[in-house]
Structure 1
């Protein structure tokens, strides 16, 4: 199944009462610094969509040793998926209102849990509105589903692997360029990036309207950043959320990549791990960069 579905195709699928496969819609509105995703959902969402709370349903409690949004236990995620109404045999479409930066998290997690038919609404809620389709207000309360989920179906790496990844592979940093360079760090205790990582902000995956670039454009982008079929690729971000967006973009390009779930928020909490700053993958003097500290931990 394709990574993306457009608004017209989704509307057609939802209107097809004779389709043998039910589609579950997940609204994953969340952005860093905006805790009001549920309020936005209640004000207006795609009819039938269930709200997914990224902070409590797509992540466990923040821990210095695991990052700000550690992956929840598999049993907990399965319980949430059933509460959203997902059953075995269903299809899932996820969206948000920020270019799928948050929705990609549940896309990756369902894929990792062995659930195959899951897509992102290309352009998110904005594309649905632009197509002239209506919204519903209030909360949706679907009957519980019976989906059975596992874990480990998608490639992932840990901090130990991230430390040596750039020696033989490509490590992409999906955060904004200024955070990669160490010019600003709004939430984590140290500014900069993992030594050897290449800056690849997720915003570069999107067109101005929030839709993903086409496959050819994405292939060109990632090849320019160093992607090669014989070079293993891994992606991290601040807390493992927008890195999933980068993995979706890589998949659209026809490329595979592993996720570092703990990402920089896990990495930088260990003082024994080097953090470097600047434009270059290995940055400036490691000892100088490792001692920098800005912002506060969320």
Structure 2
């Protein structure tokens, strides 16, 4: 367990103070969900002051074969850097990402930017809801920043592919972060087959948040993942349906002091390959 891991979250109070400081962060609005993938209309209606809209489907995902890369492949490094510069990101500038979905979409931006070498990237704990609940203002319309000069390095992303995911339970813990019913194979609303990767354990991302929509504290998160078998000093990998909400689990594990790796293709890639075995039920299999 890496107890010196950089902070992953920022509170509304901390963000509000930093926006009034000498080194305000760049804000990225990453509103997206399966039933409403285009968050731009909501962004135009109201967003944190100065926040730039980020299109998850177009800018935080690439296009590949479902059987190998899943529904939301990682973007090509050059494409991600081009997008990041269009958001106005500059070298050495802190970044805060947020959404209105408990962090489940903004975490994708957090993970990609962190994994590409940006040290100071944080997720707004509680997102848009926490900001407005604190009585803080929103602004309307589009935000078009001056192009940035940030340089991203995606040469060593902490990821695994399907073959490595298959072998992972023999060396560490492979965490399935989808809802329990999907893990057990009782329902599958999106992907070709129902169930989970054999050997994976179920830790749904929804349980990483408390009643107020904020992340649990480090000790509570550590206890939650330890109950599933995650241990200090041992490898841990995460996946979900298509690699988006797995990043939310990566945030939680980072807060808890671990250094997770991501299976980007996730269940969408695994279930699209007929040669991959599928486990069902409540046990890892």
Query: For this structure pair, what is the TM-score category when the shorter chain's length is used for normalisation?
Result: over 0.9
Q: Does 1:257 align with 2:260?
A: yes
Residue 144 of structure 1 corresponds to which residue in structure 2? 147
Q: Shift of the alpha carbon at 1:169?
A: 1.1
What does residue range 43-82 of structure 1 map to in structure 2 within 5 Å? 43-64=45-66, 65-82=68-85
Superposition RMSD on alpha carbons, in Å? 1.1
* 1:31-78 C-alpha deviation (Å, 9 max, x unpaired): 122223111111110010000010010001252221000001100000
Residue 137 of structure 2 corresponds to which residue in structure 1? 134
Q: Does 1:6 align with 2:11?
A: yes
Q: Give the number of equivalent residue pairs.
A: 279
Match of 1:157 among 155, 160, 171: 160
Contact map agreement 2:238 2:249 (CA 8 A) in 1: yes
Q: Does 1:26 align with 2:28?
A: yes
Q: Find runs of 4+ consecutive structure 1 residues off by over 4 angstroms.
A: none
* 1:102-145 C-alpha deviation (Å, 9 max, x unpaired): 00000000011111110010000011001110101111011000
Q: Does 1:275 align with 2:278?
A: yes
Q: Distance in 2 between matches of 1:278 and 1:159?
A: 21
The range that moved more, 76-85 or 37-46, is: 37-46
Structure 2 gaps of 5+ residues are 1-5
Q: Distance in 2 between matches of 1:57 and 1:111?
A: 16
* 1:79-122 C-alpha deviation (Å, 9 max, x unpaired): 00000000101000000001100000000000111111100100
Contact map agreement 2:89 2:150 (CA 8 A) in 1: yes
TM-score of the aligned structures, taking structure 1 as reference length: 0.91
Q: Distance in 2 between matches of 1:152 and 1:198?
A: 29
**Equivalent residue of 1:145, what SS?**
coil
Residue 105 of structure 2 corresponds to which residue in structure 1? 102
Structure 1 gaps of 5+ residues are 283-298
Residue 3 of structure 2 corresponds to which residue in structure 1? none
Q: Distance in 1 between matches of 2:196 and 2:118?
A: 32
* 1:155-180 C-alpha deviation (Å, 9 max, x unpaired): 21111100111112100000011111
Q: Does 1:196 align with 2:166?
A: no
Q: Shift of the alpha carbon at 1:190?
A: 0.5
**Equivalent residue of 1:171, what SS?**
strand
Contact map agreement 1:206 1:212 (CA 8 A) in 2: yes
Q: Distance in 2 between matches of 1:30 and 1:107?
A: 14
Contact map agreement 2:38 2:55 (CA 8 A) in 1: no
**Equivalent residue of 1:25, what SS?**
strand
Closer, same or farther in 2 for the Cα pair 1:203/1:152, shift >3 Å?
farther
Residue 38 of structure 1 corresponds to which residue in structure 2? 40
Contact map agreement 2:30 2:54 (CA 8 A) in 1: yes
Residue 173 of structure 2 corresponds to which residue in structure 1? 170
Q: Shift of the alpha carbon at 1:277?
A: 1.0
What does residue range 282-293 of structure 1 map to in structure 2 within 5 Å? 282=285
**Equivalent residue of 2:147, what SS?**
coil
Mark the structure with the bigger radius of gyration.
1
Q: Distance in 2 between matches of 1:5 and 1:70?
A: 27
